[in-house]
Chains A and B, each alone.
Chain A
Amino acid sequence: MKNIVVTGMGVLSTAGFTLEDFWQTLYNGRITYGIIDEFKDSPQYRIKIGAKIYSDKWAQNLPQKIIDTYGKAACYSVSASLKAISNSGIDLTQIDKTRIAVVIGTTMGEIEVEEQITKLICADIAVNDILYKKYPTFNIVKAIADVIGAKGYLFAVPAACAAGNYAVAVAKQLLDWNYADVVIAGGVDVFSKVAFAGFQRLLSLTPDLCRPFDKNRKGLVVGEGCGIIILEREKERKNQNIYGRILGIGLSSNAYHMTAPHFKGDGELSVMKKAIDNSGISIDDIDYISAHGTGTKANDRIETLAIKNLFVKQSLPPASSIKSMLGHSMGAASILEMIACLLMLQKNIILPTANYEAKDEECDLDVVANKPRKQKLNCVISNSFAFGGQTSSVVIGV
């Protein structure tokens, strides 16, 4: 079976709209979240911090028809897909469009459209049909397919915060089984008031900084964004620009709780084992862990437990969480972290966990704290765990 390779990437994030800006922001440990304007003076929001994209420059590469027809999640996805296709160097006129598939993950789909609809309904204002038509989740993949001309298999795959990894898992299978030659895969979520309100009431939000694995961590930061990668079989197209290889993926369900991680980290451990087994590598080969690392008390403690139960006989590889800088971009988180891993593999530099000050004995990993670390990287693992107990790990190699 041929290797499945990543040949193009596109980002749309609070850390930047280009791969270069995205890398530089994270490399320099810059925080991309702050006080949300609309929450600043509202007593209903005791927490004010979020990661929201305010600039509209992200839409510069979009046809006006797309902006008029679709919601923001679809528009984010089209914008990042166009960048990823351009980055891959694929000449769309030379590709059989029936062999281009699109697989996109999300947590809440077109939640901003739903929020607009609800606002109007609650104010007794009539809702325009055009707004209603922007809601369906399938619009996200359909919009990409329309713009790219993709006529192959299309899947919108909601899987909450593991959605990007689930999308890549399905994409890899479509290529392995020869149902497609090119797959546009990724994850997206837009900033959501519903998500913010829900996490606020679950007491999961930090009032200031996201500090994954730190003793004084106080919670996560709600964010947004989109990441898209182009996947192909290796050596099937001339001049492939190979960023890395998807070596193995582990997916599982905790069968435990909708929001809490399994108390022993069983699901979290099982997906890391599955991903490594499927890769055909050994545990010793893992050079770095891109942690789910949300910055909540429960996640970071359980993820540490699962990692330590995996590396029982081996020394722990370094770990970090870029959520410390990006916040938690929900359905985009796992794919943005995968893109960060691919860039780390290219540059042999590990991106840091920002805001790390005090070691927690229950999170005693080798945390790459505050500054990037130079290290030869051949093989890394990226974790993402989600509401509903959906757990996922992906092993990525050079």
Chain B
Amino acid sequence: MKKKVYITNSIFLNEGFNDVNLRDKNIDFIGKMCITTIGKLLESAGDIEKNVPVFWGSAYSCLNSLHEFNKVCEKSGALMVNPSLFPNTVLNSPACRAGIHFNITQPIYNISNGSSSGLDALGLAYMYIANGEIDAAIVCAAEEESEIAQKIEGKAFIQSCAAIYLSAQKSDLEILEYRKDYAKIMLLNEEQPIYGSINALYQIDCLLKNYMRESQFDIECIIDSYKTTIRLRCYGGKNDRNIES
């Protein structure tokens, strides 16, 4: 018997990441993005268990920090790299920076599934709660804007970070299903050029904050022929706003 899984809180940010005052000056920008966003999520969530597993999605993760580190190596030589910045070059670094900051001793699952990274991080967290392995999870997705990421992606995108608190505690938004198959893409809102991996969590943030009429939604992402779907049910309770669907 699967447990029901609910989204109890969410946050979406695309600015204010440098406002956070950190003792460790070696934390890179995407690390700050995660710390800022998860911090605001935990603040807004009130009396909840904070030491829970983290499921973190990002297509490019710390690519910018890695690239800058490597440029020093390439231009000035291997002996000139700053060893304090070396930890920022591993792909699990941003989420682990946040885990250390918030004293999280639970596992941190990093997902790098291109533009479906956020959706897959959410889906994997859903599986872990639905099957009774864990009671709650923090789901986060982040993409840092950088010249190299944009060149690889072939287009510009707004750097942003989103986080969601997921648990078996009843709320107005339930996850019904997470699946992989084939079909066309459907997004609720394409007003902002947010990178795909954040988009799913952004849509959920919009749903939670603005559109809570009783209804059912699919949030989908397609990479080549691989389609990821999260099916949601809203139970109503808030004013609805006109969102393309």
Contacts and interface: CB of A to CB of B under 8 A. Distances in A.
Interface residues of A, number: 72
B52 to A, nearest CB: 11
A199 B83 CA distance: 8
A178 to B, nearest CB: 9
Contacts of A135: 63, 152
Contacts of B151: 127, 132
A257 interface: yes
A107 B97 CA distance: 15
A108 B89 contact: yes
Interface in B147-198: 148, 151-152, 154, 180-182
B142 interface: no
A156 B82 contact: no
A137 B66 contact: no
A127 B133 CA distance: 46
Contact of A166 (B103, B105, B109): B109
Given A155-B124, A197-B78, A160 B90 contact: yes
Query: Which interface residue of B75, B82, B95, B108 has the most chain A CB atoms within 10 A?
Result: B108
Contacts of A111: 66
A58 interface: no
B241 interface: no
Nearest to B113: A138
Contact of A253 (B104, B117, B152, B224): B104
A194 B131 contact: no
Given A179-B127, A253-B96, A253-B106, A45 B59 contact: no
A155 B228 CA distance: 12
A173 B90 contact: no
Contact of B112 (A137, A252, A267): A137
A257 B23 CA distance: 13
A158 B110 contact: yes
Contacts of A390: 92, 96, 107-108
B238 interface: no
Contact of A44 (B69, B79, B95): B79
B87 A98 contact: no
Query: Which interface residue of A135, A155, A195 has the most chain B CB atoms within 10 A?
Result: A155
A115 interface: yes
B100 A389 contact: yes
Contact of B92 (A42, A151, A196, A387): A387
B59 A154 contact: no
Contact of B77 (A44, A114, A194): A44
B135 to A, nearest CB: 16
A259 B86 CA distance: 9
Nearest to A129: B154
11 contacts: A136-B60, A136-B152, A151-B182, A157-B109, A158-B90, A193-B73, A194-B66, A196-B78, A255-B104, A258-B93, A387-B93
Interface of B: 59-61, 63, 66-67, 69-71, 73-75, 77-79, 81-83, 86-87, 89-93, 95-97, 99-100, 102-114, 117, 120, 124, 127-128, 131, 133, 148, 151-152, 154, 180-182, 223-224, 226
Give 5 closest A-B pairs by Cβ, nearest first: A388-B96, A198-B86, A158-B91, A201-B83, A258-B87
